[in-house]
Amino acid sequence: MSDRYVGIDVSKETLEVAIDGELAVKQVTNDEAGFRQLTERFNERRPTLIVVEASGGWEMSLVSELSAARFPVALVNPTRVRYFGKAQGQYAKTDKLDARLIASFAATMKPAARPLKSGEQAELARVVSRRRQLVKMTTMEKNRRTTTQGAMREQLERTIAWLTAEIHQLNERLKELVNGCVSWQAKEKILQSVPGVGPITTLTLLAELPELGTLNRQQIAALVGLAPLNKDSGPQRGKRRIFGGRASVRCALYMAVLSARTWNPVIREFYERLLAKGKKEKVALTACMRKLLVILNAMMRDSKPWTLNESFAG
């Protein structure tokens, strides 16, 4: 049986499904009925790989259903597919064309299928994501207090109080989830043994970086988007920049580094050494984020808590 690479273009209402090498594009609804149709079809014609573009969250239910049915599913950044299409000279854009393009991308690039999340892992990720949204909303409302007076100020305070209460409930839910899983408790203990790594950073890593401890230092840095990328041409040497990766994890690491540069002796020494070499503060902080991530990855791989006796200072 020949390999079958499937591309699915996702919208709010519909799914366009294409198989590489076939002209026909099947449309189903983006709901449980449509998922059942796809599952039945894929059970008959087992796909080698199914590739789905990230589409602002509209794809998550589909990916969960296909993963639960044990189909190999890869979720990819739409920018990668778009550049792939431009390289082939395809600039036109319709849902059907996009589905065919995604299928061609799947057959050519063969992105790795994402591991299936357990129900608890998915729930933890949802709660962490929702908490992050509410914290952002609370900050925005608090910033508005400086320019709001009268009755609107009272309404603003009520909104802030409600958001604060909701965040507190989510914090309690996060504690319940972690306390209900022995492996998460062990990982939490390891992560929080590192000076500068607090509860929120720990929860973000548990929820959104389950690969921590399973990859080498280069792979984990690239996955998070902290690997410096070259931009050279001929004799010119451009600035190294970071790009892509998991923004929520980077944000959590950034907040951890702001604390670690004071309280973590390894990160503090590394940070001060970079500044002494003339590095800008932003560059030094980014390098410290990468170093902290590599340290955490090594600790999780070895299942050992933080100790200064270990050679993290290199």
One-letter amino acid for residue 20 of the chain? D
CA 57 to chain centre: 12
Q: Is residue 185 included in any domain, yes or no?
A: no
Q: Is residue 191 included in any domain, yes or no?
A: no
Helix (H) or strand (E) holding 73: strand 73-76
pLDDT, tens digit, 9 for 90 and up, residues 219-241: 999 989 998 877 666 777 767 77
Q: What's the average model confidence in pLDDT over 181-195? A: 93
Q: What's the average model confidence in pLDDT over 83-87? A: 94
Q: What integer best gives the mean pLDDT of the chain? A: 90
pLDDT, tens digit, 9 for 90 and up, residues 165-175: 999 999 999 99
Task: Check whether residue 29 and residue 98 sit in a common domain.
Answer: yes
Task: Check whether residue 213 and residue 159 sit in a common domain.
Answer: no
Provide the pLDDT for residue 235.
Answer: 75
Contacts 24+ apart (CB under 8 A), 198-203: 198/255, 198/256, 198/259, 200/252, 200/255, 201/252, 201/253, 201/255, 201/256, 203/124, 203/128, 203/174, 203/178
pLDDT band at 308 (very low <50, low <70, confident <90, very high): low
Task: Check whether residue 43 and residue 101 sit in a common domain.
Answer: yes
Whose CA is closest to 51, among 27, 28, 20? 20
φ/ψ of residue 146, rounded to 5: -70, -20
Q: What's the average model confidence in pLDDT over 61-80? A: 88
Task: Check whether residue 204 and residue 294 sit in a common domain.
Answer: yes
Q: Is residue 289 included in any domain, yes or no?
A: yes
Per-range mean pLDDT, top range of 75-79, 90-94, 220-224, 256-260:
256-260
Domain ranges, residue 261? 199-302
Task: Check whether residue 166 and residue 259 sit in a common domain.
Answer: no
Q: What's the average model confidence in pLDDT over 201-211? A: 92
Alpha carbon of 56 to those of 77, 105, 137, 164, 246: distances in Å? 11, 20, 19, 26, 14
- For residue 49, pLDDT beyond 80: yes
Residue at which a domain ends, from 81, 109, 137:
109
Q: Is residue 157 included in any domain, yes or no?
A: yes
Kindly state the tokens that stand for 80.
Answer: 């990668």
Whole-model pTM over 0.85? no
pLDDT, tens digit, 9 for 90 and up, residues 121-162: 888 988 999 999 999 999 999 999 888 888 889 999 999 999
pLDDT, tens digit, 9 for 90 and up, residues 261-285: 999 999 999 999 999 999 999 999 9
H and E: helices and strands count for the chain? 12, 7
Domain count, the chain: 3
pLDDT band at 312 (very low <50, low <70, confident <90, very high): low
Task: Check whether residue 55 and residue 145 sit in a common domain.
Answer: no
Task: Check whether residue 229 and residue 279 sit in a common domain.
Answer: yes
Residue at which a domain ends, from 109, 135, 164:
109
Q: Is residue 19 included in any domain, yes or no?
A: yes
Task: Check whether residue 218 and residue 136 sit in a common domain.
Answer: no
Task: Check whether residue 160 and residue 233 sit in a common domain.
Answer: no
Beta bridge partners of 313: none
Distance CA 252, CA 259 (A): 11
Task: Check whether residue 59 and residue 97 sit in a common domain.
Answer: yes
Task: Check whether residue 46 and residue 92 sit in a common domain.
Answer: yes
DSSP 8-state code for residue 14: E
Residue at which a domain ends, from 85, 109, 133:
109
pLDDT, tens digit, 9 for 90 and up, residues 93-116: 899 999 999 999 999 999 988 776
pLDDT band at 311 (very low <50, low <70, confident <90, very high): very low
Q: Is residue 236 included in any domain, yes or no?
A: yes
Beta bridge partners of 29: 14
Provide the pLDDT for residue 73.
Answer: 93
Whose CA is closest to 208, among 194, 195, 220? 220
Provide the pLDDT for residue 1.
Answer: 45
Percentage with pLDDT > 70 across the chain: 94
DSSP notation for 264-296 = -HHHHHHHHHHHHTT--HHHHHHHHHHHHHHHH
HSE-up of 160 (CA within 13 Å, CB side)? 13
Give the CATH number, domain containing residue 66: 3.30.420.40
Identify whether the C-beta of residue 215 lies closer than 8 Å to the C-beta of residue 160.
no
- For residue 92, pLDDT beyond 80: yes
Q: Give 172: exposed, middle or buried? Use CB within 10 Å, 0-12, 13-18, 19+.
A: exposed
Task: Check whether residue 139 and residue 94 sit in a common domain.
Answer: no
Provide the pLDDT for residue 156.
Answer: 93
Q: Is residue 314 included in any domain, yes or no?
A: no
Q: Is residue 310 included in any domain, yes or no?
A: no
